[in-house]
Structure 1
Amino acid sequence: MVTALTMRVDWARARGLRSRRLGLLLLALGVGVGAGLGAVAFRYMIEGLTHLFTGFSDYAGHPGAANPQLPALGRFFVVLTPVVAGLVYGPLVQRFAREARGHGVPEVMVAVARHGGRIRPQVALVKAVASALCIGGGGSVGREGPIVQIGSALGSTLGQSFKLDERRVTLLVACGAAGGISATFNAPLAGVFFAMELILRQWAAESFGMVVLSSVTASVIGRGVLGDSPFLVLPAFHVDHLAQYPLFALLGVLAGLVGVGFSRVLYAVEDACDWAWRGPEWLRPATGGLLLGLVLLVLPQMYGVGYPVLGRAVDGGYGIAFLLVLLVGKLVACSLTIGIGGSGGVFAPSLFVGAMAGAAFGEVVHSVAPTSGGSVGAYALIGMGAVFAGAARAPITAVVILFELTGEYSIILPLMLAIVLATGISQVVSRDTVYTRKLLRRGIDIDEPADAAVRRRPAAPFVTPAPAPLRVDDTLEAAAARFAAGTDAELPVVEADGRLHGTVTATDVVRALSAGDDTRVGALASPADPVPDTATVGDVLTALGHARSVVPVADASGAVVGWVRERDLLGTTGLGRG
């Protein structure tokens, strides 16, 4: 009978487990559908607003042209488009979802690492509208950051609606991020690895399977509506000579430095904008948009994401000098867009900067060794992946997305070489990435345990006066009376000269009395090493690992000035023993 009952219980558990997995699988599928449809809608919103503002579906492909609807303004209309867009999305973001400002991915990363994947539902809609307005109005940012935040918000909302635990909510957040990247770039593998490498930051079989399902679903929807062609048509890639590998290695080193520089410039410009702006935040995008408009007037190729310009650079359509101008221009325009409070991603701008750096490097190589140096486009492709790897430190994603864009297996070896070197250089010269730097500036280090910040706090607020001590020669009856009259379960024991001898618990005293022991309190006391009054919460937790329920606190002279009770510390911080 017992065996049969056990079998029924095991079967019920297995059936419940299968039911939960099936439910999670269906939710991951739903997130993929939502992310795919969201990416399609977002793409159309950007194209529609760009056409509304400029008269073209992608103004970067027609730099310097006049708006057909405003011919009297000529090419000067680009000065006004960021201002008008900022007047709309600035108040929208400030009023409804301030986390929609910026490039989006760091907010998703911290939601997963610190907040159990919880993202407010309105973020998806506000981010979509604000980013579409920003990019359509000339913001020189990418669409991958917004779609990651949009897809992640959809996954989080669905998980919270079904009251899932934090682990499953964060998994659905990653599914949304993967689906968004997959449908946006028509790159399902890149979506998976982006979500696993940057969002979840851990690898597990169940997580991987769910993320793949969501990514594939979103990609199928994106391809069904937007077509099967990649977002960027790139030239065929070939390695003609083994002598090119040292050149690819050198490019990887330089691209790693460029990637770190991209991150530094981005946040330096944002700091400058923070320092200069004194008005209301809702007005900042419109006012700063005037500066962005002037940049677009001088260099209209910076309007929006800039894929046509990127494609022409990869095809070898620009000279070295202009490639460097475009590189610096994208750094300035992207940083300014983010700094004034714009909404958009930095993934595509890093690819743009990498393409310009790689193409310029390739032009130099081609001028020195025209027969053995290889094509300019090859170096541009390698530069794209290596600069992104240097900026984001996501080498797997960098390799996979460039492989999916080209479809050329021959790109793998040189790409891996350059990306590994770029990632290594980035780690040597910089502690942070273009994504984590934003969080570190807020005091959030997602590479640390979630309770690390609490453990670094001073323990002084938790120190309370120690109760009146027992003496080593007090009788057990006197100690029992003290415990009965108070609320403490542990009391300090001091020597005749007042020095701390140790601590004794009520349990120790009751057990000794029950055994008929006539010893003194000092014999029952356990040693207690005090922590200094400058100790941190982590120091006290470590001491509690070797103590009972209290830790004495001593000043510089060694005199006990108080103690920390375990219940007070853990009840306030929610931490466990060290």
Structure 2
Amino acid sequence: MLSRKKLINKIVRLKIRFGVSENYFLIFLAILIGVLSAFGNWGLHFAIEFFHEHLFVSGLEVLGVADGGWKVYLLPLIPMCGGLLLIPLEMAMPGYVCGYGLPNFLKTVNLSRGRLARRNIWIKILAPAITIGSGGSAGQEGPIATIGGSIGQMVAGFFSFNQGRVRLLIACGVAGGIAATFNAPISGVFFALEIIMMGDIGLAIFTPVVIAAATSVVSTRLIFGNERLFVTPEFSLGSFRELLVYVAMGIVIGCFAALFIRFFYLVQDFFTKLRFPRYLKPALGGLLVGLIGVFFPQVMGDVYGKMGQIFQFPPIWYMALALVLMKILATSICLGSGGAGGLFAPIMFIGVVLGSGCGQIATTLFPNIVMSPDGYAVVGLGAFLSAVTHAPLTAIFLAYELTGESQIILPAMFATVVGIMVARSIEREGIDTFGLAREGIHLEDGREVNLMRSIKIGDVMFRGALETIPETMKLKSLLQFLPHSRKTTFPVVDSKGLLSGILSIQDLRELVYEQELEDLIVAKELAKSKVLTVTAHENLSDALRKIGSRNIDYLPVVADDNSRRMVGMVSRQDIISAYNRSLLERGLPGH
């Protein structure tokens, strides 16, 4: 059997022999990743069906829920069992199983060298399949993005590519996974570029991503056939005046999107702080989702089939509103408590129901303008998806690819743009970046800025013996001490060694020739008592901003529990050097 090194050498020789350029080789790898992503999607789909059949359907039969009466209230036991089945997985791989994982995936791809564990593939198949298959309110799109991205990283890692190439092949895997899920190649491409690559669109990136998405869809159609996720109603636009109604719907959708983003993380924080055994929280969340499902069964499990039912038999508007609120609550509880899965499918479901309700209200209020309320459900799907994820192109093209109707693009553009504007005016961050923003990471600010925010002062500061000046040291001793030091700034400390001021060479320039004052003035009288400091947990961006505000070269690093007890020093040069090293390690431009 060929070793990895021998296999790589053989591939390199074949490249040279046939004159294959690096760009064509990347296209070949994109095709390979597209095929593998399609099989990853098949694996996740099969696992969800397996657990749905053996957990949910069998559970309904064993508990006799279909018999009605008091047995209906046994339904919550099924998703609770799903939560219990996550316990051994979470114990085996803590931090990889429970909760909504796409924000951490974004952080890894954009800031942490793109290193994804191989176990992401099977754990992101198994854990979400258990949650969704047992009736949890979650989606499969976040997991399939991670699965596809991990496949791309594995291929890149096999050839020991630099970080730029690793990130590109991760994007190929993500595009392939999403495209396979929706049978929609264009949406897969823009999902990878808008959400994963944060809008980093260039020809060198665009071409392999497109090829990976197209290959994945072709492979998926060979496996499943050319079937849509659900049948959508025929779309028709009454007149251009109706576009104003879509604009109004966009405003409503934007408000609901901001509500969902904030409420989702509010529930997540609640479960994080809840004094309850950590491993049992997903089971508790499953129990609560099941209780909601007793009265609103549509919120449970895989929702694609249920969206098709809503297109055919839309609920009356006030029931649609109740269903939207219950789905927001169920999804927030399921993933906030530690259930495994993604958010795309729940977001799409909420958008469909919300759009359907808006369409019915619009038909009642404007019967001469609105010809059919059915199209509002499809436009609502795209608009709500855009407003929650802040990915308008993905949403617009998804609405188009799901319906195949070119007429839908114009209303979708109006509702989507207005929805995202309203949502961002209320909440700047999308649901995938909200949690990262609370850590001080704003991916939209650029990878270089966030790179500085990702590096902690504790990782770069000087921890050895610090050159300090006692506050009682006289000017004469100071002038004798300074020539023997390479530093230009010195912390001044009291008799207990606690920070009391900061002294720089500039502070002494006017006193160099004042010999009569050498025995009269002490360091405390010369030092600045208002000292800018940082802690080891702050980041390079924080430190550089403080250094720039005073045009100084050094900052004392102090303890978290005592702002006068020094634990190190950090200099402007330390910050620049650490930043440059990280640029080189991650393969980012700019160095």
The bucket for the TM-score relative to the shorter chain is: 0.7 to 0.9
The one of 67, 81, 86 aligned to 2:60: 67
Count of residue correspondences = 508
Q: Distance in 2 between matches of 1:48 and 1:567?
A: 57
Query: Over aligned residues, Cα RMSD in angstroms?
Result: 3.8
Q: Distance in 1 between matches of 2:444 and 2:459?
A: 23
- Residue 97 (structure 2) aligns with: 100
Counterpart amino acid of 2:109? V
- Residue 142 (structure 2) aligns with: 145
Shift in Å at residue 252 of structure 1?
Answer: 0.8
2:547 maps to 1:538? no
Q: Distance in 2 between matches of 1:344 and 1:42?
A: 11
- Residue 170 (structure 1) aligns with: 167
Q: TM-score, normalised by structure 1?
A: 0.79
Q: Distance in 1 between matches of 2:459 and 2:289?
A: 48
After TM superposition, the structure 1 = structure 2 runs for residues 303-322 of structure 1, keeping only pairs within 5 Å, are 303-322=300-319
Secondary structure at 1:450 match in 2: helix
2:500 maps to 1:500? no
- Residue 511 (structure 1) aligns with: none
- Residue 495 (structure 2) aligns with: none
Q: Distance in 1 between matches of 2:582 and 2:548?
A: 12
The answer to whether the 8 A contact 2:103-2:435 is kept is yes
Once the two structures are superposed, residues 547-569 of structure 1 have per-residue CA deviations (whole angstroms, 9 ceiling, x without a partner) of 9xx6599xxxxxxxx99655555
Once the two structures are superposed, residues 460-504 of structure 1 have per-residue CA deviations (whole angstroms, 9 ceiling, x without a partner) of 966953799999xx9xxx99xx97xx5739899xxxx994339xx
For structure 1, the residue ranges without an aligned partner over 5 or more in a row are 1-13, 57-65, 503-529, 554-561
- Residue 437 (structure 2) aligns with: 440
Secondary structure at 2:450 match in 1: coil
- Residue 267 (structure 2) aligns with: 269
Shift in Å at residue 312 of structure 1?
Answer: 2.4
The one of 224, 234, 241 aligned to 1:226: 224
The one of 120, 124, 133 aligned to 1:123: 120
Secondary structure at 2:234 match in 1: coil
Secondary structure at 2:443 match in 1: coil
Instruction: Give the structure with higher Rg (CA).
Output: 1
Once the two structures are superposed, residues 15-54 of structure 1 have per-residue CA deviations (whole angstroms, 9 ceiling, x without a partner) of 7996433333232222211110010121121112111123
Counterpart amino acid of 2:239? H
After TM superposition, the structure 1 = structure 2 runs for residues 146-545 of structure 1, keeping only pairs within 5 Å, are 146-201=143-198, 202-279=200-277, 281-448=278-445, 449-453=449-453, 464-465=466-467, 488=486, 499-501=507-509, 533-534=531-532, 537-539=543-545, 542=548
More deviation in 304-313 or 377-386?
304-313
More deviation in 361-370 or 260-269?
361-370
Q: Distance in 2 between matches of 1:30 and 1:460?
A: 40
The answer to whether the 8 A contact 1:135-1:141 is kept is yes
Distance change (3 Å), C-alpha of 1:532 and 1:365: same
Secondary structure at 2:276 match in 1: coil
Counterpart amino acid of 2:214? V
The answer to whether the 8 A contact 1:540-1:551 is kept is no
The answer to whether the 8 A contact 1:85-1:133 is kept is yes
Once the two structures are superposed, residues 367-403 of structure 1 have per-residue CA deviations (whole angstroms, 9 ceiling, x without a partner) of 2344531212111111111111111111010101000
- Residue 25 (structure 1) aligns with: 27
Distance change (3 Å), C-alpha of 1:340 and 1:417: same
Distance change (3 Å), C-alpha of 1:490 and 1:124: same
For structure 2, the residue ranges without an aligned partner over 5 or more in a row are 1-14, 491-504, 511-527, 534-541, 557-567, 584-589
Distance change (3 Å), C-alpha of 1:149 and 1:277: farther
Distance change (3 Å), C-alpha of 1:277 and 1:19: farther
Counterpart amino acid of 2:55? F
Secondary structure at 1:500 match in 2: helix
Distance change (3 Å), C-alpha of 1:244 and 1:118: same
Secondary structure at 2:509 match in 1: strand
Shift in Å at residue 301 of structure 1?
Answer: 1.5
Q: Distance in 1 between matches of 2:56 and 2:276?
A: 31
More deviation in 184-193 or 149-158?
149-158
Counterpart amino acid of 1:453? R
The answer to whether the 8 A contact 1:455-1:537 is kept is no
Q: Distance in 2 between matches of 1:126 and 1:377?
A: 39
Q: Distance in 2 between matches of 1:460 and 1:135?
A: 43
Distance change (3 Å), C-alpha of 1:268 and 1:19: same
Distance change (3 Å), C-alpha of 1:376 and 1:95: same
The answer to whether the 8 A contact 1:459-1:537 is kept is no
Q: TM-score, normalised by structure 2?
A: 0.77
Shift in Å at residue 271 of structure 1?
Answer: 1.8
Distance change (3 Å), C-alpha of 1:316 and 1:329: same
